Structure formats: C-alpha cells, structure tokens
Structure 1
Amino acid sequence: LVMVNSNLPRGAALSSSSALSVAALLAYAGCNGVEPDKALLIRAAQDVEWYAGARIGVSDQTAILLGRAGALLHLAMLPGDFDLGAARHIPFPDALDLLVVNSHTRRTLSGAQRLRYSLNRFAYSMAITVLQRELEDAGWAPDAANRMDRLSRITPEALGGAAQVYRILKRIPPETSLEALRRRYNPPDLDAEYARYFGELAEAEQPKRIPLRGPLMFGIAESERARLFPSALESGEYESAGKLMSIGHNGDRVRTPQGAAFAVDVGDAELEALARRNAPVALQPGAYGASSPALDMLVDSALEAGALGASLTGAGIAGAVLVLCRKENSAAISCALAQTLQQNTYARCAALRAPLDEATARESVVINHSVAGAEELVVDG
C-alpha cells in the first residue's frame, strides 16, 4: 500500500513531481533495506521524469536531497559530472523573507507547453557547440574552446572580459534553421539531441527554427547572477540580490507592466553598444521567454509594493513566483499580491474561470521556510 500526501500545489512549478519521485525512491530503498547513494538517487529521479516526458535537469532533486534548514543551497549542477561535495549552505538572512506565490496556473509539460519548454533546452544543448565553433573561428585554440563546455565555465573572466562576451555572442545567429545549423556548425549530436527532445512529437509539430543567441545570452548571464547572488546576501547587499532576481525574470518576461508584449533586444547593434560600455554581464537579461502574462503580473505587483526582487521559479510557463523582501515589508507585499490575485484582469491573464475569492488569494501567498533534505522517517509501533 502506498499513500501520498502533499501540500505542494500540483503543476505549479514547485517540483512536486520531483518530490514525489525522490520520496518514492527513498521509500522503495527503505523497504528493501538499501542505503541509497544520493548521486544515484538524483539520476534515478531524473530518469523517472524523462520517462514521463519532462526533459528536466537534476537541480530539483538535488535541492530536495541536500537541503538544510534555514539555508540556501549553492551548487553548480553539471549533468555529466556533478560533484555533490562542492555544495555550499548559506544561512538565509534573518532580516529578509522569501514569499512563494501560487499563480493558480498549471504547467503540464504536454502539447504546446512541452514544445516551448523543450525548445529552449534543445537550444541550450546546441548553443554550447555553436559557441565553441565561434570561439575557434575567433582564433581560440581548439582545446581552449572545447573547455567552454558548460555555462558555468563561460564567464567574462574566461572569455577575456564582458566586452568579449558580447562580441562572441554577436557572432552567433539570433536563430537558425536545422539545415543551416547543420551546414554552418555540424554539431555531432544534432540528430540525436533533436530526437531526444522532439522525437515523440508529430512531424508537423516539430520545430523548424531554433533560437540561439537569446537563450545562450540568458544562460551565461543567469550563471553569472547565480555566482553573485549568494555573495550579495552574505555581505548584506540585499538590494543588489533583489535586482539580480528581477533582471533574471526579465530574461523570461513576455509582458510589460502596461500589458504590452515584451522582448529583450539581442540584436547586433545592442550587443556592440554593451561591449563598448563593458556593461556587466549579470545585469543583462538575455532572452529565454519562459514566463507568462500571469507570472509577469505577479512579479510587477510585488515590485510595485516594495519588494527587493521577484522572479518566476522553476521552468516557468506557469506555476509560482518567488519574492524577496525585507521582513518588515512582508505583510504589505503579501496583501498587495493577494489583491492582485483577486482582480478580474488577473483572472483573464491566468485563464481562470473567475477571480479568486479573498480567502484563497491570501492562502496563495506564503512565507517560505527552507527545511532539511528528504529522509526516510521510521515510525515505531
């Protein structure tokens, strides 16, 4: 007999499926008297998601297993050779609150949502190969270019400064067809990766154009933000930490605060202007586009109410928003978010049948408290 209970909203991009997978694997291991290796558990939980059709990474499962009460987990997760021993646990500041806002939208990772989600991940997998080829064409030795095999290594320092990041990105086409990608870069794993992400789709639904520059710029900048965020919290630079969150969300944003379509300029002229200014890479959103009008509206509501920063969480498209705020402002920001959730405008953005009632809206904004990692609990008797 297996009984499952959870207070995580289903389909809200809060890792409910990863939580279920990890819990089930721990339970099976416990029933069989096996002491599971955490790295093996992480891989197994990822396999479960891939079997179900979700092309996810390994971050969610790692956070579930390595979490620590009252702390942030900071770790570079590299699918091929991740090192759990490099994990850092950073105390969350007492002066701050982290709000989790349930948007009451659902991410199913099927149909159009699955295509949109998988397209960005496929673009990532190709963009690294494309970047390596462009580095070689720019005069890099092949060995040096090949070391740039993951986003965490593609730093301003590694490329010779922020200006060089933008000039390398400028060499990469904003988007390309599959055939042009094959002719220009000849990625050795193109067909296998394409089948991996889109092979289960009908041929008519399989994408023919692949975005490259925007997603790669987002990934490089987001990795830089991930490096800077813990240091900002540790040094008490809370406004800077919040700004990094909000800029990261702008890389996913699809709607302006006024309701118009939003797009980040990653054209040649803009990249050259950034290079001339030697603009900090972490302050550039990039263009990944994984948000939705409802998530954008909640982020804007939080920022207008005085939050330090706000961003979607997880894969986006639907789900939840995280809000960083000073503890003394937490109640007022929570109230503003609850009011937004009750608006007719929000109901239309979120495709809800009707606006949320006051009680449901208030229950949709909670203060997050990080907890210890997942474990087997043995009940005597």
Structure 2
Amino acid sequence: MSDEIIGVRKIRDWIQLINESDLSACEHGGSRSNRAKPQAGGIFERWLRSVYGDVPEFIREQKQWYQKILSTFADIYDVEAEVIIARAPARINLVGMHIDHRGGRVNPIAAKEIVIVAQPRDDDYIFLNDIDSEQFFPRRFRICEELPREKIENWLQWTELKSAEMKREGVAGDWANYAKAAALYLQELHRDALGRYTKKLKGMNALVAGSIPIAAGLGSSSALVVATAEALVKINQLNFTPQEFVSICGAAEWYVGTRGGFGDHAAIKLSQKGHISHIGFFPLQVDFVPFLDGYRVAICHTYKEAKKAAWAKSVFNERVATYEIGLMLLKQKFPAIRDKVQYFRDLHPERLGSDEAELYEMLKSLPIRITREELLQLLEEETDNLLELFRTHDEPKEGYRVRGVCLFGLAECARAELAASLLKNNDMVSFGELISISHDGDRVTRLVNGKRVKYHEEITDEYLDKIIADIRSNDKTRVESARLYRQPGGYAVSCEELDELVDIAMSLEGVLGAGRVGAGLGGCISVLVDENKTDELIRKISEEYYHP
C-alpha cells in the first residue's frame, strides 16, 4: 500500500531510526526473566517487515537504500531539513485489463516502489529532484501559476486543452507532469466557485527515488502521482478517505493526457502484503484474497518501453473511446437497456435479464469496424459526445474495432469477477488460464509453423454464430468453450515482443498462465508459475529471449 511513514523528522533522526535496535521491550519494570527479549531492529525495521515480509537480506538492502535517499536529499537541499517520507508501490494487475474505467474489477499485487523524501515549504513552489539525476533533470513549478485564475469547471476538458498545449510545447512526456498532476488537482479541490482559494497548499522540496522500471507497464507513472499526493496530503494536513484519495489520484492523472480510470491508483493505495486485491469500482470496494503457497509471479521485461508518448496515448485513448462508442450503439439499437446500463460492465446477462447467447446476439449488431464519418451519420444525436471523444486521440486508419474491443471488455469483466472465487477455491490452474485468455485478446502476433506472423482477431458474424450455437447446445464441452469469460475478444494492444515472451513462458511445464502487464505496446509480462519451476523459467527465458 502507499503511505506516509512515521511522521516528520530531521534527516539525521531518520538515519538514526533506520539504524537503531528495538530495546523498548526491556524498558519496563519486572524481573529480568519476565522481560521480553529485544526484537531485531527498531521502529523503521518493523515497518519494513510489515511491508515486505521477514526476508533479512532484502530488509538490509531496503535500509541501505533509504539511507542513500536521505543522504542524497541532504546533499541537494539541507542536511538540517525536517522531512517526511512517502512511498507508493508498483502494481501488477493479473486479471482485469483495460476495464477499471468501465467499472470492471482488477486483481493486482504490489511490488517495488517509488519513494519521495519531502521538506515542507512556506510557499507553493515545488522543487523536484530525482536520485537518477542523469535521466530525470531537476524541475520546479509554482502551483498557483500552473492553474488558471478562474475555477476549472470541467477538469476533463481543461486537461484535454492543457495536454494539447504541452504537446505543442514539446513537454508532454516530461516526468514532472505526474507530480504536477497531483499538486494541481489537490489545489483545485480547494477553490470556491469564484476561483478563490479556500486553502492554499504549501509546496515542498522533494527527492524522488524509484525501484520501479519506467515504461514497463508496472504503473511507475501512477505511483509517482500517488506518492506526490501522499506527501502533499501530509504536508498540508488534508483529510480524505482512502476511497476519496484513490478517485482524486485517478482524476489528477488525466492532466498528462491519458483517459484511464483509477484502477492503478486503487491497487497502489490499497494493496496488502501476501494478498491479491480484488477491487471493484463505482463504488470503490476491495476484498483481499491470500496468494496461495507454492506459486510465484515472475515479471519479465521485453525491454521495449511502453512509454506514454503521443502515439501511444492516442492508441490507449482510442480504445477507451471505442467502449463508449460501442455502448452508444447498443443503447440506440436496444432502447430497453438504457435504464439498466450505466457503465459498460453493466452489459452483463444477469443485469440485463438475459443469457450469454442473447448478449452475443447484441454484440452481433455492432459493426466490426466503423469510421468517424459513419459514426456521426449513425449517431447524430450523440454528435457532441462523439466530437469530445474524438479530441482525445487520432482517428484510427482502419476504423474503430468496435466489436472486438466490446467483446474483450465484457469477457474481461467476467474474468475479473471470477478470479477471486477461483483463488478462494485454491484453483490456481483456472486462475492462470484467465491470464492467458486475456492476453490472447491483446495479441498482435502468433506462432505459425515455427514462424511469428501478424495476427488480428476480427470478431466475425461466423465466430459469434458458432459460440451462440455452442452455448445453446446440450454438449457440456461446447457450452463451456462458449462461456463469456473464455472469449478473448480483440483489444489488440500487445506487441511482437510481449507475444514472444508469453509464448516462451507458456511452453514450459509448470507455467499456469502468462500475459502482458499494464496498458500494452511494450513493457512486461507476468507469469504464474509453480515455485519449483521458477529457476527453470528464468533459464528458459534467458536462453530463448534475452540471449538467444
């Protein structure tokens, strides 16, 4: 989980806290024989163990890392500074891809982290340095100067304009934008209708240090948003519930131009050691399911960066818009569902009072692909909404892949809902299968006769007719194969490298499932593997991918 650690202290006091031994158990009266033995480590070490587990070598490494961060802060800013420490882990979503913004569930675990050491300021300037100063250059900004004088009435629209402005100025991908996102949105929440500040936020001198690989699909950008928000909330003594905090971080990140939900931020804020978080949205709710002994999740990097550059943001936002387009088309075609469906996830047989075959019939009414011109003609009453969606991304050359994206989204919602019950029933084999099916919905290549070829899954009428016939048959095997959660769909934001890594991993006995992590177009895959096969998996991927 993300948090702020143990209050405000001077740099030297933090370092002393990291190094101290816990003798508090011997400070009370009573005979020596009745006193508890001192525990290894002090307050800070106990906190580390509560977060990372009782792994002595790793705890030692973490203590050394935190000391390095604090010492670097002292070198850059002030050795006598009183500072707080905020942290936010990476998120690794195993099942529930591309659907949190549609109301679907996610099933993440947490790993690695971003740490911010922050010294409160008396003004609203934020000075940013990164421990990796060669890659991330120092930045500074003043919160009030980044916001318009008048109150922002529509944050989404304002961030669209701001994102376009940053793109024109060539600063759209700057790392400081994620810290700005948190600071500006938190300040905007404290303005009245006339634009006056009801509380003017104090800034900070901040040092950022991260162990999360950047552009790897592990949520490093969202972690920076969350860690910045954690620091500013503490410095300014703001009070938010965890649910409010998660929603704030999700909306704040729109500042950088993406149009996602707040699944990453929920995973970062709410995660617990040793558990998978089963998180639902609208409203936010979370259940924690213990990760089963005997299995490991391996993270393998393609070394193709999944940077949120302009073209990548356009692809991400296009897919999000396609969900909206699909829902508009379905509501036009089937007016009876209008009152039953608020979010895309509500297109579920139980909510609609139908069965899966009828849902497939509805999907069959959607075009496989459709252009903007065709949409504006077909959905004339939605012109304003469509034009607003179009502004977030470039027009896809081959049209919006409406049917494939919508089938993926509905099936992924079903998979994400099912995931927790499989874990509770100790069914890791089926859980792993969900990961692999989900990746198939993102595939852009396949192996055919030993050669990797381009692959585009189009959801044709023939495909839907077959699964409709199968699910209405009396054959248990056919019915099961046609179930909604077993349909990959066609979201198609993988890449050749991700597909290759998945195929290598899945060729090893003992691997239960593998799939991309994050938004796609590069980054990492997650592999669910029998713990006894972990070393063999590492060797296989090293030999066949990293050192072929």
Question: What's the TM-score, normalizing by structure 1?
Answer: 0.81
| 1:1-381 alignment runs, 5 A limit | 1-77=205-281, 82-84=282-284, 86-136=285-335, 141=336, 144-159=337-352, 160-186=354-380, 187=382, 189-195=385-391, 197-198=392-393, 205-207=394-396, 209-257=399-447, 258-278=451-471, 279-306=482-509, 307-343=511-547
In structure 1, what is the Cα distance between the partners aligned to 2:333 and 2:287? 34
In structure 1, what is the Cα distance between the partners aligned to 2:458 and 2:387? 30
Deviation of 1:97 (Å): 1.0
Q: Is the 8 A contact 1:13 1:315 kept in 2?
A: yes
In structure 2, what is the Cα distance between the partners aligned to 1:22 and 1:260? 40
Deviation of 1:319 (Å): 0.8
Deviation of 1:47 (Å): 3.5
Greater Cα radius of gyration, structure 1 or 2: 2
In structure 2, what is the Cα distance between the partners aligned to 1:216 and 1:270? 14
In structure 2, what is the Cα distance between the partners aligned to 1:76 and 1:132? 24
Unaligned runs of 5+ in 1: 199-204, 345-381
Amino acid in the other structure paired with 1:255: T
SS in 2 for 1:174: coil
Deviation of 1:294 (Å): 0.4
Deviation of 1:252 (Å): 0.1
In structure 1, what is the Cα distance between the partners aligned to 2:424 and 2:270? 20
Q: Alignment length, in residue pairs?
A: 326
SS in 2 for 1:109: coil
> RMSD across aligned C-alpha pairs, in angstroms?
1.7
Q: Is the 8 A contact 1:156 1:281 kept in 2?
A: no
In structure 1, what is the Cα distance between the partners aligned to 2:494 and 2:262? 21
Q: Is the 8 A contact 2:340 2:351 kept in 1?
A: no
SS in 2 for 1:260: strand
In structure 2, what is the Cα distance between the partners aligned to 1:110 and 1:309? 29
Which deviates more, 58-67 or 99-108? Answer: 99-108
In structure 2, what is the Cα distance between the partners aligned to 1:343 and 1:168? 48
| Other-structure match for 2:125 | none
Q: Is the 8 A contact 2:323 2:344 kept in 1?
A: no
In structure 1, what is the Cα distance between the partners aligned to 2:306 and 2:253? 14
Amino acid in the other structure paired with 2:342: D
Q: Is the 8 A contact 1:9 1:102 kept in 2?
A: no
In structure 1, what is the Cα distance between the partners aligned to 2:408 and 2:275? 26
What are the Cα deviations for residues 303-345 of structure 1, in whole angstroms up to 9, with x where unaligned? 001210011011011111011112222221122122233245x
In structure 1, what is the Cα distance between the partners aligned to 2:545 and 2:240? 42
What are the Cα deviations for residues 271-316 of structure 1, in whole angstroms up to 9, with x where unaligned? 0111010110111100000100000111111100121001101101
Question: What's the TM-score, normalizing by structure 2?
Answer: 0.57
Change (3 A) 1:59 1:324: same
SS in 2 for 1:72: strand
| Other-structure match for 2:179 | none
Amino acid in the other structure paired with 2:544: T
**Higher RCO (Cα < 8 Å, 6 or more apart):** 1
Deviation of 1:175 (Å): 1.2
SS in 2 for 1:87: strand
| Other-structure match for 2:83 | none
Q: Is the 8 A contact 2:266 2:279 kept in 1?
A: no
Which deviates more, 117-126 or 279-288? Answer: 117-126
Unaligned runs of 5+ in 2: 1-204, 472-481
In structure 2, what is the Cα distance between the partners aligned to 1:194 and 1:260? 31
